Structure 1
């Protein structure tokens, strides 16, 4: 049967027959097609690999990526620009190869791809309750239900099993390291180390030594030979956070890692082979930096094979309250305090705040509130969100409250909502039921009644 079944899709007969001869001589079973439409006449799932030209009559070769589902697609392009290769990888190609191709390079790419496919098929499908997913089925326990996050989860699941380099973009505090963790845990490297490096936290004079290691005597203070963090990640995943802060000299060394799979320690003349999957992250505009000469353009295109965007917290809608409740549960467990609730007013304050520090800022605010709280309720004043103060209630008496009942619901402040809810339900509920529905204590309910002039009606 041969080493595997391969579908070759190429509209140039000479190239197609040449590739068929090369593969059949090396014990592969080859089927030929000259367009995407012609290729789809076959059962694409029956092949171990599809090798397709990028430029084809009708649909481009990348159209086969979606149509083939689980069969990997290797893209050939005579337009051997890094840009077209990057675009192909972004769409899900397992690899690309430039035409005219070297026979040994083609055979190596084919063998590697087919062996990786066999490994993936041999692995058990992870269940929904594994450590890489949350109770909602999200990777690495990342919380989110909004459309941008669901798109992100889908892309993580698609790219994680591949060897593609990933660039994670997002503002500070959005959780880029969690995305790197999710990619690593769902990859074939999950049993090997994930080494995380914050490039902004290492002094510029030391970063090359920290990343790539150094030989004894390479510089003043180098009293012993030392392995770098890239070597520490050998076989696993290297996560470089804030990669935009990497000096140009270190960028050149990193490019060598990506292009040649090797490093050279500071002060050494010998290169060492390393096998790492790189995930990089930044809040900066690397494309602009590349145009300005502060970031290597060739490194930018090597990094930007697959781009994942993390939305800022202010654009995640109801995810904000989901995150607040999850972070509250996490914080109370960590501090060993009793179960706490977030008051309706605090939830509104949280949803209105712009969160320039994103999830990290929200976590800090929740932790602060838990520490300062004297009971089981998180109120807005405990959060310390100066820019999210609620409109002051101008209501003085029940008569004013009655007038508010005719206003548009979407314009109600939390004080207005409180008035409306109490007036509508106090005849059907006792104080305990009212407080529970409002998410506040009986004492808090009594204090608000007193302040707003709506005392509890006497029975009978």
Structure 2
């Protein structure tokens, strides 16, 4: 069992991460002070460290976190360190990443993203050569998932998989569109595994999670001494994917400067590492994905048209789960594989849900249900779903998630849907975000964008476990202060 050291002065955060990681089979060691963290790292075998940036009441400078980071790097130089920080310390976090930190995540963090980063890095502790380690990990993953399992019963998915089979044999660029949680990464993996490149690396990059300061080094690599803290040459993702496939997720979030740099390597297959004048040539197939309307982004001047046509030789549009009714029960049965089974009334309830978070939301509910179930029969109450949900909600959601809808219509549907989910959960941000398939931070941005406020209601029943939220900015502030304590 891998051992993770979590360092934070807030006991709520320590408890939350302890529970999250324990549920995913990690052994957790906690420390609330710099001294305790150093002692734990020095005396125990730690596979990965998650650390905060401040450890004293009222401190927000991040200096304590920097000091601890450099102490830990000296004590355990090969142990990955993930920084969890408030936005106010973003610049400091970027500095630490350049100095060797594995990654940084803002508070409030996204559980799925955190687990993904941990899983991707925890086995690299003894790495001596980043490129070789990436290749080995990728090939091992390819062997385990040589034929990605797809639950395909609906006609829309059968048509999409048929198209994916056709484009897999070619070398053309593919753009996968669809809502969050609908399975775009799985489609990209499927294409790679059925392509002539299947024995070579399949490298995934979340473009939306890359800071502009780190994008160039992350994609194209950097030479030793290229920037402060670059103590060794760094292999970029394009170089690591040489001969294989590079999957660029959330491509719509890439900055215009990043788009220009990406366009050059797509056109020529050549680039230079940061700090080097030597041109490197690679043979990489690019598959990209987005949940945003890139055509509208082009019209708004936010996305380059030439890059769009370079990426979108063939577009595969992945329909939301509400348009794939025949897939819901087979998917649920797959997610609860083992001794658990769905009761008949549970299956009926699942097909009535709008599944705004798509396949990811369904999987999360299935996992939760198995935890809450005391035997092998999964009942409706184990899923904590609204039994009054109807297919009318799903039809409204279809309009909301359609990437071909007009900008005005999409924004209005988005506003209505987000408001409805917030009201349903009495503006408890964590629960609303979970149903929407968003991080809490992303939900805050939606609230701010649509200028949503909670309307007082005398008919609302009190809930001892939920505290009604006031207006959006107060909601965000209270939630962040409660969890972060700073």
TM-score normalized with structure 1 length: 0.52
Other-structure match for 2:374: 374
**2:153 and 2:343 mapped to 1: Cα distance?**
22
Say which is worse superposed, 211-220 or 302-311, in terms of deviation. Answer: 211-220
Structure 1 pair 388/241, CA: closer, same or farther in 2 (3 Å)? farther
Other-structure match for 2:226: 218
1:384 shift after superposition: 1.5
Q: Which residue, 142, 165, 170 being the options, matches 2:173?
A: 165
1:235 shift after superposition: 0.5
Could you tell me which runs of 5 or more consecutive residues in structure 2 were left unpaired when the two chains were aligned.
Answer: 1-143, 391-486
- 1:192 partner SS: coil
Give the conservation status (yes or no) of the 8 Å contact 1:173–1:357.
yes
Could you tell me which runs of 5 or more consecutive residues in structure 1 were left unpaired when the two chains were aligned.
Answer: 1-129, 134-139, 333-338, 391-460
Q: Which residue, 196, 202, 216 being the options, matches 1:194?
A: 202
1:199 shift after superposition: 1.3
Structure 1 pair 156/176, CA: closer, same or farther in 2 (3 Å)? same
What aligned pairs does 1:44-443 form with structure 2 within 5 A after superposition?
132-133=146-147, 140-329=148-337, 332=338, 339-386=339-386, 388=388
Deviations 1:64-105 (A, max 9, x none): xxxxxxxxxxxxxxxxxxxxxxxxxxxxxxxxxxxxxxxxxx
1:296 shift after superposition: 1.2
Structure 1 pair 290/383, CA: closer, same or farther in 2 (3 Å)? same
Q: Runs of 4+ in structure 1 displaced over 4 angstroms?
A: 130-133, 387-390
**2:327 and 2:154 mapped to 1: Cα distance?**
7
Give the conservation status (yes or no) of the 8 Å contact 1:169–1:283.
yes
1:221 shift after superposition: 2.2
Other-structure match for 2:36: none
Say which is worse superposed, 300-309 or 380-389, in terms of deviation. Answer: 380-389
Aligned length: 247
1:283 shift after superposition: 0.4
Give the conservation status (yes or no) of the 8 Å contact 1:132–1:141.
no
Give the conservation status (yes or no) of the 8 Å contact 2:349–2:387.
no
**1:278 and 1:271 mapped to 2: Cα distance?**
19
Of Structure 1 and Structure 2, the greater helix share is in 2
1:182 shift after superposition: 0.7
**1:201 and 1:377 mapped to 2: Cα distance?**
39
**1:373 and 1:151 mapped to 2: Cα distance?**
36
1:201 shift after superposition: 2.2
1:259 shift after superposition: 0.5
1:159 shift after superposition: 0.5
1:132 shift after superposition: 4.9
**1:385 and 1:375 mapped to 2: Cα distance?**
19
Deviations 1:169-218 (A, max 9, x none): 01111111111111111111111100011112222321221111112232
